Every structure is written in structure tokens, then in C-alpha cells.
């Protein structure tokens, strides 16, 4: 049963520390296993990837890369209504992210100086998409569409084959709709390594994004620096802020929507109403029994869930900022009243009819979000995640001469005489 905590300035903060430890306590035995996989793929390329595919996925696919003809045949197996839903979601996601596009710019000064910034998409990005028991077509949309809008020249996707060696049709359909350029049937840390280092079949990428199990997450973490990555994601989490006007049935359903992700997921309700707290707990017990993943839900709620009762709504908002959750729902009479005060959250869902799953799949904002309190300083995946910027400077001889003494003084202060000399020789 989910625990109820009465906020007293101490107990609720002890719970935060408990949650942080859960996110940090990754299996130390995973690192050496993943390190060995990375080195093997780096040295042996596709042969190593194939061996690991047989070992971990049961069977190697007949072809590593899926051709355009194969894609059309695979998609023909999908439910037409599902395809329409994916297209609608893609349109919403595209509309939201197109508004994030930055432009290159330049500025001129009266002395002839020209300065500016060039913005362009990365050359090649790799997307990892789970394809086993946790197959997420929505993640294809959320990762590929912003990359395409950013101007990435080539988007490749790696997804593991199913047990029979074939791809998941729903994932392949989402990839085509989102604009993925090339698709490879491979999964796990070995797929991440293939994208990072490049193999005979898989081109080397500049950045790797997308969710995965602890082996995939560890591989991304170890390869950061060889390539860029989106973020190091922890277990999924939701925080709901609710006042006395909230509907306990809705609150319970939304808490469980995240608890079903995995046993380490965290679902927390913050409220200033003891009545809402009690009724929500009753709804949790009732609704969980009707859900397929009730064992995971109950484990998650029992171990990492909480209903925290605060003295007033102001304390609720302050504590929400302390938690800095991945998903934050505001189920209050006037949710817009609190928008300006909610500083730390990956994505905010306002009102009783903006449940978190709406953002996971359909509304448009990205569902790749910072976890484990990192929303204090990290942002959701966006078009900005797939661009790079270069500045440029043009000085005339007269403009440089006017600033020369200041530049030389800086260089000499830092003891870098060659820097100073680079300026001086132009005017001797």
C-alpha cells in the first residue's frame, strides 16, 4: 500500500533522499559487462554485433539493414487505424517543435566589424528504440521529428529484432512516418557501440538518443565523449499537485500510469487536503486490481510512491520545486495560477483533463525528459538537442588596431605572450 507522509519539514525530505539513492544504485556488475561489449564491437564490428544479437535476442535477422521495399511490406501488416493515429501524433509533434527552430544571424558595426552565429543540424544522429517487451513507437516520433526539423542530414535507427528475427512492424511504421533514413535490426549495448564507433554496415554517428534498459543506458554513459548523448535517464516519475477540488479517481489513475513503467518508477501526490489523500489511496487499491501490470504497479507504489499531505498549497508548490520531477501534473481549481511558480519540472500538465499519457503520445511537447531531480538544470529533448552553433568574426585592419592594446593587455595578464605577439606583429 502506498505510504502517506505528513509534511513536517523533515520526513518529506528524507523521502527525497531515499528516491535519489534508488536512482543512483545501478548494478555495478553491469559496467564491466558493457565495457567488454563496447570493446568487442569496436574491434570486431558487425561480427561482434551479430554474435551478441544471437546471444541476447535469440536469432540474428537475415538482413541487418531493412530496405525501403522491406519497410513497405512490413508496414502493410500494421493496423490502418494505428497508422492514422501515428500520423496525427506526428503532425502534433512536428507543429510543436517547428516553433523551436533557431536561425543563423549576423550583425554589423559602424567600424566595419561583422560578427554572427551559424546554426545547423548535426551531420548524423542515431536513435535507439527498444523492440522487445518494451517497444515504444512513440519514442521514434519524439526523437526523430525534432532531429529532422533541426536539419540533421541523416537519421539512423537501431532496434532489436523480435524473437523470430523479424522487426516490430509498429516501430518500423513510426520510423517511416517520422522520417528516419536508415533502419538497422540490432539492439542492446552492441547497437549503441555500433553507432558510436561505426562498423562495416553501420555508419558512425555524432549523437545517440533514445531509451533503453540498463545495458543501453550504461553504454551511452560510457560512450559520452566519443559521441554526444541526449541524457542519462533514471526511472520514470510523476508528481501530482492537487487541492481539494481534484478528482481522486483521476489522481489514482495518473499515479498508476507511471507506476506501471517499472518497479523503480516513482509516483507521488502532493496535496493540502487530507480527504483527497485518503480517497486517492482508496481509488488506487480499487483501480489497480483491474490493470494487467498490477504487480509492477503495486511494487512501485509500495516502495517508491507516496502521498504527502502539506499544510497549504504554497508548501505544496515549494516542495514540488524541490523534487524537480520528470512529469508534473497540476490538478487544482485554477492551475494557470501556478505556472509562474513551478520552476523545476520536465513537462507540466495543467488541469484535470491534461493527463500525463497525453504528453507521452500525442499532444506535441517532447516526452524525453530529465529525471531524478535533474530538471533543476536540464531541459526536455528539443530541436536544440540536434544543432550545433559556430560563431564567426570579421575585423578590418582599422578595427583591430583600435582594440589591439586591450587584447595584448589581456594576453600578457594571462602570461600568454604568443597570444600577444599574434596581435603585435600586425602593427610593427
Domains and CATH numbers, the chain: 3-26+234-376 (3.40.50.1980), 45-229 (3.40.50.1980), 395-427 (no CATH)
Selected catalytic residue, list 12, 237, 283, 326 = 326
In this structure, are residues 236 and 267 in contact, taking their beta carbons and an 8 Å threshold? no
- pLDDT tens, position by position, 63-99: 899 998 999 999 998 999 999 999 999 999 999 999 9
Percent of the chain at pLDDT > 90 equals 84
8 Å CB contact between 281 and 2? yes
Is 210's pLDDT higher than 70? Answer: yes
Q: Report the 10 Å Cβ neighbour count for 421.
A: 13
* Grid cell in block for residue 34: 558493457
pLDDT in tens, 243-262: 999 999 999 999 999 999 98
Q: Which residue has the higher pLDDT, 131 or 403?
A: 403
Q: What is the mean pLDDT of residues 388-412?
A: 97
Burial class (CB in 10 A: 0-12, 13-18, 19+), 150: buried
Report the pLDDT value the prediction gives residue 26, as an integer from 0 to 100: 57
Which of 210-214, 264-268, 335-339, 417-421 is predicted least confidently? 210-214
The strand pair at 306-309 and 266-271 is best described as: parallel
Question: pLDDT per residue over 330-342, tens digit each?
Answer: 999 999 999 999 9
CB atoms within 10 A of CB 152: 24
pLDDT band at 16 (very low <50, low <70, confident <90, very high): confident
367 is catalytic: no
C-alpha torsion angle, residues 149, 155, 160, 166 (rounded to 10): 100
Please work out, in degrees rounded to the nearest 5, the angle formed at the alpha carbon of residue 292 by the alpha carbons of 287 and 295. Answer: 80
Quote the pTM value: 0.93
Can 97 be counted among the known catalytic residues? no
Question: Does residue 218 register a pLDDT over 80?
Answer: yes
- Mean pLDDT of all residues in 53-60: 85
Catalytic residue among 283, 327, 329, 356: 327
Amino acid at each position: 500500500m502506498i505510504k502517506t507522509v505528513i509534511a513536517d519539514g523533515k520526513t518529506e525530505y528524507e523521502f527525497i533522499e531515499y528516491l535519489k539513492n534508488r536512482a543512483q544504485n545501478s548494478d555495478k556488475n553491469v559496467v564491466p559487462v558493457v565495457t567488454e561489449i563496447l570493446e568487442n564491437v569496436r574491434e570486431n564490428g558487425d561480427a561482434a554485433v551479430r554474435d551478441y544479437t544471437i546471444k541476447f535476442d535469440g536469432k540474428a535477422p537475415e538482413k541487418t539493414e531493412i530496405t525501403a521495399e522491406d519497410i513497405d511490406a512490413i508496414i502493410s501488416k500494421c493496423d490502418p487505424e494505428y497508422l492514422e493515429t501515428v500520423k496525427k501524433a506526428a503532425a502534433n509533434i512536428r507543429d510543436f517543435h517547428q516553433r523551436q527552430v533557431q536561425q543563423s544571424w549576423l550583425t554589423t558595426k559602424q567600424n566595419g566589424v561583422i560578427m554572427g552565429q551559424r546554426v545547423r543540424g548535426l551531420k548524423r544522429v542515431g536513435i535507439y528504440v527498444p523492440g522487445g517487451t518494451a517497444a515504444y513507437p512513440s519514442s521514434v516520433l519524439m526523437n526523430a521529428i525534432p532531429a529532422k526539423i533541426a536539419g540533421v542530414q541523416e537519421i539512423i535507427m537501431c532496434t532489436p529484432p523480435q524473437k523470430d528475427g523479424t522487426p516490430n512492424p509498429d516501430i518500423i511504421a513510426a520510423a517511416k512516418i517520422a522520417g528516419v533514413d536508415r533502419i538497422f535490426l540490432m539492439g542492446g549495448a552492441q547497437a549503441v557501440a555500433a553507432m558510436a564507433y561505426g562498423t562495416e554496415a553501420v555508419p558512425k554517428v555524432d549523437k545517440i538518443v533514445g531509451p533503453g534498459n540498463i545495458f543501453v543506458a550504461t553504454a551511452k554513459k560510457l560512450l559520452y565523449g566519443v559521441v554526444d548523448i541526449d541524457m542519462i535517464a533514471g526511472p520514470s516519475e510523476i508528481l501530482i499537485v492537487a487541492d481539494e477540488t481534484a478528482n481522486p479517481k483521476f489522481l489514482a489513475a495518473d499515479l498508476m500510469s507511471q507506476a506501471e513503467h517499472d518497479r523503480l518508477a516513482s509516483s507521488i501526490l502532493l496535496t493540502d487536503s487530507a480527504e483527497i489523500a485518503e480517497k486517492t489511496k482508496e481509488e488506487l487499491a480499487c483501480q489497480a486490481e483491474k490493470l494487467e501490470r498490477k504487480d509492477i504497479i503495486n511494487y512501485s507504489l509500495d516502495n517508491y510512491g507516496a502521498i504527502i499531505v502539506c499544510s497549504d498549497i504554497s508548501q505544496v508548490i515549494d516542495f514540488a520545486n524541490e523534487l524537480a520531477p520528470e512529469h508534473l501534473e497540476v490538478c487544482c481549481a485554477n492551475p494557470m495560477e501556478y505556472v509562474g511558480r513551478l520552476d523545476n519540472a520536465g513537462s507540466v500538465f495543467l488541469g484535470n483533463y491534461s493527463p500525463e499519457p497525453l504528453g507521452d503520445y500525442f499532444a506535441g511537447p517532447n516526452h524525453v525528459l530529465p529525471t531524478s531531480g535533474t530538471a533543476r538544470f536540464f531541459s526536455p529533448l528539443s530541436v536544440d538537442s540536434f544543432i550545433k552553433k559556430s560563431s564567426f568574426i570579421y575585423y578590418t585592419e582599422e578595427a583591430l588596431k583600435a582594440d589591439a592594446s586591450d587584447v595584448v593587455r589581456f594576453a600578457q595578464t594571462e602570461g600568454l605572450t604568443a597570444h600577444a605577439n599574434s596581435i603585435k606583429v600586425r602593427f610593427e
